[in-house]
């Protein structure tokens, strides 16, 4: 992944955050350990309802709190909770395990600051879905309290991209080519084995994990990632709901200002995490 191309991609992704936020929205920066990030709180939302910790996507190489600010606002408005977007370290400047370690640090510091785990909803989109799954695995191994719910939006979980490649042969993804996933994997992992315990989140034992919602579009090459992930929850007898949205592309809830299905998906997320 060339430096000039990556800089352009990061700038393009961050341009999504240039949209003016409506009056009454609160945004502020915070730091947990060495990890900075941004809070987004819609008018009427409050920490008394709990919080959402959202791990942004971007193939581990781009995306930021700025790129996901508008999405976080809609999530905050619908759930009634402020949303924290950590600015975890990105590849290739900071390869694995930097991003995964940063997410664990943020979660632990939130607990230290007095936010109980049962008031935290953990969510992640695309590569952020892998980071969310990695975090849940870390919490289980370290015997730390789990969040109340987990939400995965078009998660990229098989970092080998073998599932995505096979799926793309059956139905070509109009948005995310598997080759792009492989480039991102190389930037993030180098020659590390994707079968290592911390990375192999797809089929890991989900015993003790929180109730989980998985949303994916049926046009995307990552659909089988979502399906196999859901199966691993059923094997552990953990509540898990998989939604396959007809005609929708990768991470479509992020485009709720453009597609009505995105708005419907976020409303469903709000309902799911409220019980």
Contact indicator for 30, 84 with CB cutoff of 8 Å: yes
Contact indicator for 181, 156 with CB cutoff of 8 Å: yes
Residue 1 has pLDDT above 80, yes or no: no
Dihedral angle computed from the Cα positions of residues 196, 199, 202 and 207, in that order, rounded to the nearest 10 degrees:
90
Going by pLDDT thresholds of 50, 70 and 90, the confidence category of residue 3 is confident
Least confident of 9-18, 123-132, 205-214: 9-18
- Digit-coded pLDDT (tens) for 205-228: 999 999 999 999 999 999 999 999
Fold of 3-273: Rossmann fold (3.40.50)
0.85 exceeded by pTM: yes
Residue 26 has pLDDT above 80, yes or no: yes
Active site residue 15: no
- Digit-coded pLDDT (tens) for 47-76: 999 999 999 999 999 999 999 999 999 999
Going by pLDDT thresholds of 50, 70 and 90, the confidence category of residue 127 is very high
The pLDDT of 155-168, averaged and rounded, is 98
Contact indicator for 71, 153 with CB cutoff of 8 Å: no
- Over its C-alpha atoms, the chain yields an Rg (Å, rounded) of 17
* Active-site position among 70, 87, 123, 126: 126
- Digit-coded pLDDT (tens) for 100-112: 999 999 999 999 9
| pLDDT at site 18 | 80
237 by Cβ neighbours in 10 Å (0-12 / 13-18 / 19+) ranks as: exposed
Phi, psi of 7 (to 5 degrees): -60, -40
| pLDDT at site 2 | 64
Residue 190 has pLDDT above 70, yes or no: yes
| pLDDT at site 12 | 95
The pLDDT of 184-196, averaged and rounded, is 98
SS3 state of residue 108: helix
Return d(Cα 56, Cα 9) in angstroms, integer.
15
């Amino acid at each position: 992944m060339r430096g000039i191309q990556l800089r352009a991609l990061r700038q393009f992704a961050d341009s999504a955050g240039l949209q003016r936020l409506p009056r009454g929205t609160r945004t502020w920066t915070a730091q947990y350990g060495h990890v900075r990030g941004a809070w987004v709180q819609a008018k009427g939302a409050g920490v008394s309802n709990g919080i959402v910790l959202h791990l942004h996507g971007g193939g581990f190489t781009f995306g930021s709190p700025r790129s996901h600010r508008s999405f976080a606002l809609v999530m905050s408005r619908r759930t009634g909770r402020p949303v924290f977007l950590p600015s975890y370290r990105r590849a290739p400047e900071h390869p694995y395990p930097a991003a995964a370690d940063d997410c664990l640090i943020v979660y632990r510091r939130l607990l230290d600051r007095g936010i109980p785990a049962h008031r935290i909803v953990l969510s992640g989109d695309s590569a952020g879905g892998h980071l969310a799954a990695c975090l849940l695995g870390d919490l289980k191994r370290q015997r730390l309290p789990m969040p109340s719910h987990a939400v995965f939006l078009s998660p990229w979980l098989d970092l080998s991209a073998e599932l995505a490649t096979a799926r793309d042969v059956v139905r070509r993804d109009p948005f995310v080519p598997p080759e792009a996933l492989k480039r991102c994997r190389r930037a993030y992992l180098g020659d590390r084995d994707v079968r290592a315990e911390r990375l192999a989140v797809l089929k890991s034992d989900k015993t003790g994990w929180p109730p989980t919602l998985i949303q994916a579009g049926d046009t995307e090459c990552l659909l089988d990632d979502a399906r196999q992930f859901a199966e691993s929850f059923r094997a552990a007898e953990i509540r898990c709901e998989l939604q396959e949205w007809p005609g929708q592309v990768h991470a479509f809830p992020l485009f709720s200002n453009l597609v009505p299905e995105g708005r419907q998906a976020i409303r469903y997320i709000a309902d799911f995490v409220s019980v």
